[in-house]
């Protein structure tokens, strides 16, 4: 099964080096701005998988993203 476009974009952000959580958060905020996309549900699933492994401190910094996923 080929990876979804959302998964591929997420992986690219993760692999970009530097602050991984920052790069992925930037991508997630871009997705939030484009929430009318047909791929929104899939994007939310990708972000939810990502946030599972984050510390409470990191989650508090991106609470807006987490809240968006629950909409």
Give yes or no for residue 58 having a pLDDT over 70.
yes
Q: What is the pTM of this model?
A: 0.82
Confidence of residue 37 (pLDDT cuts 50, 70, 90): confident
Please state the separation of Cα 65 from the chain's center in Å. Answer: 8
Strand ranges in 1-71 using DSSP code E only, listed in sequence order: none
Confidence of residue 2 (pLDDT cuts 50, 70, 90): low
Taking each helix axis from N to C end, the angle separating 20-33 and 5-14, rounded to the nearest 10 degrees, works out to 150
**Which string of DSSP letters, residue by residue, matches 2-70?**
PPPHHHHHHHHHHTT-S-HHHHHHHHHHHHHHTTTSTTHHHHHHHHHHHHHTS-HHHHHHTHHHHHHHT
């Amino acid at each position: 099964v080929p990876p979804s476009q959302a998964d591929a974009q997420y992986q690219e952000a993760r692999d970009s080096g530097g602050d991984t959580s920052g790069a992925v958060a930037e991508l997630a905020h871009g997705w939030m701005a484009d929430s009318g996309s047909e791929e929104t549900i899939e994007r939310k699933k990708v972000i939810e998988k990502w946030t599972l492994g984050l510390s409470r401190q990191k989650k508090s910094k991106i609470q807006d993203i987490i809240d968006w996923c629950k909409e």
